[in-house]
């Protein structure tokens, strides 16, 4: 188990590519006691770190930026639009606050920094430009992105064209393939985390839940990841051992949302989320999903037998090739989901209309007027309570709880 002080030093080591923390990391390493930053040494180390945080050097760094406004809130941080006074460049500042120094650097923030610094620069992954401490927290400096894919969907008065959907999916798959090639699973892919630049480029952002995955699949992870509507069924069943397939399921959900202009599985809690999935894909069993009986929550609830609905009915505006590709993402066994790199070679992307160039894609402003969404015909009839399983509400879908 990593000690609190070791965690602080690890945070500094993650940021050695930045001008200030690179220097700070060398200083902390030089003064670190032989027994590490523990006990009184730990308190001394934190005092030293806090003192540095208020030096004129730090003020000079923060003074380089002029805050232009608030963009929103990401995983464990508030995001602001800012301008580098010296260069005039517009950037996004993500301020991560610590309630007290003893809390240490949040794991999610460490993961985001580590993930973005371990992978090489890629045109479909948001660029981390700098990191520096600020007050009792720190600031991540990202390239500024004008909007995100959720705004594109929200502001679409008409469904996106086939060419536009292909354009977005092409960029998304390139970014996902790049992350997976570097053994990083994002674990929170959703339209709001797919940022859009002023030129229409789509880039994956918010790596606060990202983790390095191993090929043996034996590593344990938390199942409480991913936003519910894009959460893979194995996560809904409490899986602790999983792989990049959770990202590929999310890609399928995003794909369907682009085609339908509305979420595919809009559950209000985990049980309702499973009901939404089962309504479309049918009730899973050991024949189609051999690993299902090994999932922690499999025996806690039994669903009535239900046949799948043809995806052609669920996504009526999808072309035959779009549906064919979508089916390869939305399958129960994780290992059977098409890899991002393989999906890029699917005939869907090479059949007219060809993918739209990013300069031809819609770029709405953040917080624009919300257009009416085209909702699907089927939903779970009533929302289920998060805290209590109401047997009367769940009855149409389950046998036993």
**Separation of alpha carbons 126 and 142, rounded Å:** 7
Catalytic residue among 148, 162, 188, 270: 188
Q: Which two tokens stand for residue 184?
A: 């990083």
Using DSSP's 3-state secondary structure scheme, residue 34 falls into coil
CA distances from 378 to 7, 350, 382, 392 (A): 48, 32, 12, 19
Give the E-state strand segments of 45-124 in sequence order: 65-74, 77-84, 90-96
Orientation of helix 4-14 relative to helix 19-31, angle to 10°: 140
Per-residue CA distances from 19 to 12, 91, 256 (Å): 11, 17, 43
Distance CA 30, CA 202 (A): 42
Best CA proximity match to 199, nearest among 311, 293, 123: 123
Please give the structure tokens belonging to residue 198. 């002023």
Helix axis angle, 320-329 to 245-260, nearest 10°: 150
Active site residue 188: yes
Q: Residue ranges for the binding site for ATP? A: 94
Structure token digits, residue 311: 């995806």
- 78 burial type by CB count under 10 A (0-12 exposed, 13-18 middle, 19+ buried): middle
Q: Contact 206/188 with Cβ under 8 angstroms? A: yes
Dist. CA 358–CA 163, nearest whole Å: 11
Reading the block at residue 117, the tokens are 């610094």
CA distance 108 to 114: 10
Taking alpha carbons only, the member of 339, 320, 312, 344 closest to residue 328 is 339
- Point out the residues that are catalytic: 188
């Amino acid at each position: 188990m990593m000690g609190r002080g070791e965690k602080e030093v690890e945070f500094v080591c993650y940021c050695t590519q930045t001008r200030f923390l690179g220097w700070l990391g060398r200083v902390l390493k030089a003064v670190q006691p032989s027994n590490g930053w523990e006990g009184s040494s730990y308190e001394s180390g934190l005092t030293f770190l806090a003192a540095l945080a208020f030096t004129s050097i730090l003020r000079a760094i923060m003074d380089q930026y002029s805050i232009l406004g608030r963009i929103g809130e990401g995983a464990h941080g508030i995001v602001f639009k800012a301008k580098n006074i010296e260069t005039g460049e517009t950037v996004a500042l993500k301020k991560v606050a610590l309630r007290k120094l003893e809390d240490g650097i949040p794991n999610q923030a460490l993961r985001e920094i580590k993930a973005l610094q371990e992978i090489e620069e890629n045109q479909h992954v948001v660029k981390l430009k700098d990191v520096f401490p600020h007050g009792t927290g720190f600031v991540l400096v990202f390239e500024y992105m004008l909007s995100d894919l959720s705004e594109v969907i929200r502001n679409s008065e008409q469904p996106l064209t086939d060419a536009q959907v292909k354009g977005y999916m092409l960029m998304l798959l390139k970014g996902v393939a790049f992350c997976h090639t570097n053994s990083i699973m994002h674990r929170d892919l959703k339209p709001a985390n797919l940022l859009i630049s002023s030129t229409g480029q789509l880039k994956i952002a918010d790596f606060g839940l990202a983790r390095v995955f191993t090929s043996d699949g034996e590593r344990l992870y938390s199942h409480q990841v991913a936003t519910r509507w894009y959460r893979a069924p194995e996560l809904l069943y409490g899986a602790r051992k999983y792989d990049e397939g959770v990202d590929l399921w999310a890609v399928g959900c995003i794909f369907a949302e682009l085609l339908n202009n509305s979420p595919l599985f809009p559950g209000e809690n985990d049980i309702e989320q499973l009901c939404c999935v089962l309504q479309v894909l049918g009730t899973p069993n050991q024949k189609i999903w051999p690993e299902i009986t090994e999932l922690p929550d499999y025996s806690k609830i039994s669903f009535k037998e239900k046949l799948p609905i043809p995806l052609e009915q669920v996504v009526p505006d999808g072309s035959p090739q779009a549906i064919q590709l979508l089916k390869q993402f939305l399958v129960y066994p994780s290992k059977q989901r098409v890899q991002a790199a393989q999906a890029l070679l699917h005939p869907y992307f090479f059949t007219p209309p060809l993918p739209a160039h990013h300069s031809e894609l819609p770029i709405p402003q953040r917080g624009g007027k919300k257009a009416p969404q085209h909702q699907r015909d089927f939903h779970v009839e009533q929302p289920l309570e998060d805290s209590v399983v109401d047997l009367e509400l769940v009855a149409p879908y389950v046998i036993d709880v």
